[in-house]
Structure 1
Amino acid sequence: MTLISRIPVIFDTDPGVDDIIALLFALSSPELEILAIIVSYGNTDLDSAYANVLKSYQAIRRHLDLHPHDAIRFPNFFNAIKTIICRGSDGPLEGALHSATYFHGRDGLGEINERHPDLNITSIPEQLEYSKESGTEVALRLLRERETHSELVATHVGRIICMGGALDVPGNTSPVAEFNFFADPYAARELLSPETPYAFPFPLDRFLLLPLDITTPHQLPFQMYKERVDSSFDSPELSQIPITHFTSAFLSHTRRIMKQFGSDAMQLHDIVAVWCATQNPPTMKETYATGWKAARRIFDIECTGEITRGMVVVDRREDPYYAPGANRAEVQAELERASHGYKDSVVLPAPVEVESPPSKDKNSRGVWCITETPGSEALLETLLKRVWGAFEAE
């Protein structure tokens, strides 16, 4: 694998709880160089999302004022060229606006505006460059200005890494849809399932999707957070360590919500995407770091269904393990017994009549989806070490 010294990235985010942890993870990852943060709607409204990014930078600044020796932990906080922050979309491409305030709170971080007013913005962080350009304008300008590594790829974009969708598992916003695809199914479909001929300027062979199938198993148990990061997590008084005080303020809300769903852990959806970016820089070939695997999946995205908005409709006729006419229950039971990844077909093909047969040239279609990572424990140790300086217990 050909490695780059630092991977230049444009970070598009809708800062709710896991997104803020993902941002802190990116800021503490030496593999990345964050050129810009494009703030969009989603988990909360655009203004609240923008403020949450500023709160993150303020928390790091306060932490380093008290603990200057920790500066090495946040390499992207001290970029020679300031990271640009700008506003992206404030609503979906089409259809009604949906947000996830039921989970993230009205402000996106469990109402810390009211519960912990000391975390509200008191001054504008000087580590950022504030742009009035739109997110699209900023991204296009950066692509024009930075022609480095252009020999690595056909255009200036090396890879897009996206967390979204639910392929073979239930949704988390509806029975069949993941939140990001539910919030703007038209945009997701335009990018990932365009009509023929394909006119979108970004080739899908450099798009990498991390659906719920792979992100959900990666979780941060709150008891581990208490043991390794903040021993006062269950008490009314939060930690006096600024970065821990900040994260515990909103994670305490997240814990209450997750317990209502019968879980005492936070799923690390967007954090897995950042982890993927740090470990898999763009290359000339579809190769991945040790422990990472991907498979090409062919699907469409439902936009207008009465109860299936945002559903990823997988063309299972081309899945190697779902032969046409197979007993799906038996196949699924066998798949669930497999440890990870995609398993070869366990049934013989059965002839069926179809209205539109699958394409014979399937290698030129579909979206690359991550099917395996080095595992939740590997992510947890990296995350705890980088964001909170919590090294593995002896």
Structure 2
Amino acid sequence: MERRIPMILDCDPGIDDAVAILLAAAAPEIELLAVTAAAGNVGLEHTSRNARRVLALAGRQVPVYAGASRPMFGPQVTADAVHGADGLLGLPVPEPAFPLSQGTAWDAILQASKRYPGELVLVVTGPMTDLGIALAKDPSLAGRLAGVVAMGGASDFGNDTPAAEFNILADPEAAELVLRSGVRIAMCGLDVTHKAYFTREDIRRLEALGTPQARFAAAVIESGVDIHRRYGVEGSPMHDPCALLYALRPDLFTQVHCWAGVECKGRLTRGRTVIDAYSDAKRTPNCHWVTGVDRAAFVEETIRLLARYGGQGE
């Protein structure tokens, strides 16, 4: 096997983050160095616990570091109405099998970037607070990362407000700092995640794998089917798994190299991502904005990885 991808998953579990953790833990192509948890979907006391609960479900002991308990600047927002008070819809998930690692999420990211200069991939599936703090502490981090893949933003609509996607709205200043840092970044926003959906037929295929991990993933994915009908989506979008699979299989996706920024002050538009791929302003591109996905291949890759828990994967 070729050298595995050294990776840190920075997340705020959260149901779709939980599926991303299961995928990262199962992928033989990934060397999962750590999982870092920030407040986001629910508070830090839940996200840092949930990361370890899902790793216990996966049968993996990976260092988990607690990160930011609130945004860098603005007011805190959560999504417990979607994810449940505990962040995992109250589903039966094992209790953590190991304690939190000593130290902070941002220091764990900085230390790993020095151990793996030019190789470390950071996948961010929650607010960008931990990465923002790491960059504020050491701006040279941007040049040491092989790349960042973030789930966040949208080119022309929101889901938490009419203008903003949740992960960006949860810490717009951190997202803007990251986009201005010079880091190599791909953004998997609602433009692509609403195309990377699981139908109920796909969910039944997951359930048929029969393992606790697959049944858990099927249950949390199922919870998103009805919610997303209002967006005209034909199934349950795989928001955070989309970013994880982009890091693993970018060939499944289409993208445009463009400039992106975040509105931090607007009364109605705080948290909106502004994308400039075609205007006369000719702004210097600073990200790869992911626009499309081969949905059938995306579903097959997700099922392939989750099948590994039962020894059915390749």
The TM tier, using the shorter chain, reads 0.7 to 0.9
Q: Which amino acid aligns with 1:103?
A: V
Question: What is the aligned partner in structure 2 of residue 101 from structure 1?
Answer: 80
> Does 1:110 pair with 2:86?
no
Q: Please, which of 176, 196, 207 is the counterpart of residue 230 of structure 1?
A: 207
1:267 Cα deviation from its structure 2 partner: 0.5
C-alpha deviations, 1:67-87, integer Å up to 9, x for none? xxxxxxxxxx4xxxx632101
Number of the residue aligned with 1:284 = none
In the alignment, is residue 367 of structure 1 matched against residue 287 of structure 2?
yes
1:214 corresponds to: 192
Structure 2 counterpart of 1:197 = none
Match of 1:34 among 32, 52, 55: 32
Alignment equivalent of 2:97, drawn from 100, 116, 124: 124
1:181: which partner in 2? 168
Quick one: distance in 1 between partners of 2:161 and 2:109? 32
Matched, 1:296 2:294: no
Q: Deviations over 1:101-145 (max 9, x none)?
A: 111111111122xxx4xx341x524xxx84120011111122223
TM-score by length of 2: 0.81
List aligned pairs for 1:1-394, cutoff 5 A. 5-61=3-59, 77=60, 83-112=62-91, 116=92, 119-121=93-95, 124-125=97-98, 130-147=100-117, 155-167=143-155, 169-192=156-179, 194=180, 200=181, 203-204=182-183, 206-226=184-204, 228-230=205-207, 241-251=211-221, 253-255=223-225, 257-258=227-228, 265-280=235-250, 289=251, 291-315=252-276, 319-320=277-278, 358-359=281-282, 362=283, 364-373=284-293, 375-388=294-307
Unpaired segments ≥5 residues, structure 1: 62-76, 195-199, 232-238, 281-288, 325-357
Tell me which amino acid in the other structure corresponds to 2:145. V
CA distance in 2, matches of 1:298, 1:248: 36
d(CA) in 2 for partners of 1:274 and 1:268? 10
DSSP 3-state at the match of 1:303: coil
Residue 370 of structure 1 and its aligned partner are, at CA, apart by: 2.1
Distance 1:141 1:102, change over 3 A: same
Aligned residue for 2:135?
none
Secondary structure of the corresponding residue to residue 370 of structure 1: strand
Residues 59, 243 of structure 1: 8 Å contact kept: yes
Distance 1:105 1:260, change over 3 A: farther
Partners of 2:40 and 2:210 lie apart in 1 by 31
Question: 3-state DSSP class of the match of 1:369?
Answer: strand
Residue 245 and residue 370 in structure 1: after superposition, are their counterparts in 2 closer, same or farther (change >3 A)?
closer
- CA separation of 1:109 and 1:254: change in aligned 2, threshold 3 A: farther
In 1, the alpha carbon distance for the partners of 2:268 and 2:300 equals 39
Q: Please say which structure displays the higher CA radius of gyration.
A: 1
- State the Cα distance separating 1:56 from its structure 2 match: 1.5
Q: Within 1, Cα distance between the matches of 2:149 and 2:244? A: 8
- The size of the alignment, in residue pairs, is 291
Report the alpha carbon displacement of residue 154 of structure 1 after superposing the two structures with TM.
Answer: 9.4
Q: C-alpha displacement at 1:161, in angstroms?
A: 0.9
Distance 1:367 1:149, change over 3 A: closer
Shift of 1:257: 4.2
Q: Is the Cα–Cα contact under 8 Å of residues 224 and 237 in structure 2 kept in the other structure? A: no
AA of the residue aligned to 1:88: G
Give, in angstroms, the shift of residue 297 of structure 1. Answer: 2.1
Post-superposition offset of 1:269: 1.3
8 Å contact kept, 1:104–1:254? no
Tell me which amino acid in the other structure corresponds to 2:111.
R
| Higher alpha-carbon deviation: 212-221 or 129-138 | 129-138
Question: Does the C-alpha gap of structure 1 residues 34 and 294 become closer, same or farther in structure 2, counting only changes over 3 Å?
Answer: same
The structural deviation recorded for 1:264 is 6.5
What SS does the aligned partner of 1:83 have? coil
Q: Which amino acid aligns with 2:6?
A: P
Q: State whether residues 16 and 221 of structure 2, in contact with CA within 8 Å, keep that contact through their aligned partners in structure 1.
A: no
User: Deviation digits for residues 45-86 of structure 1, max 9, x if unmatched?
Assistant: 11111222222122233xxxxxxxxxxxxxxx4xxxx63210
Q: Percent identity, aligned pairs only?
A: 26
Contact 2:63 2:101 survives alignment (8 Å): yes
> What letter corresponds to residue 313 of structure 1 in structure 2?
V
Where structure 2 has 5 or more consecutive residues not aligned to the other structure, the ranges are 121-140
Residues 148 and 258 of structure 1: CA distance in aligned 2, closer, same or farther (over 3 Å): closer
Q: Quote the Cα distance in structure 1 between the aligned partners of 2:215 and 2:245.
A: 24
What amino acid maps onto 2:115 in structure 1? E
Q: Which amino acid aligns with 2:151?
A: M
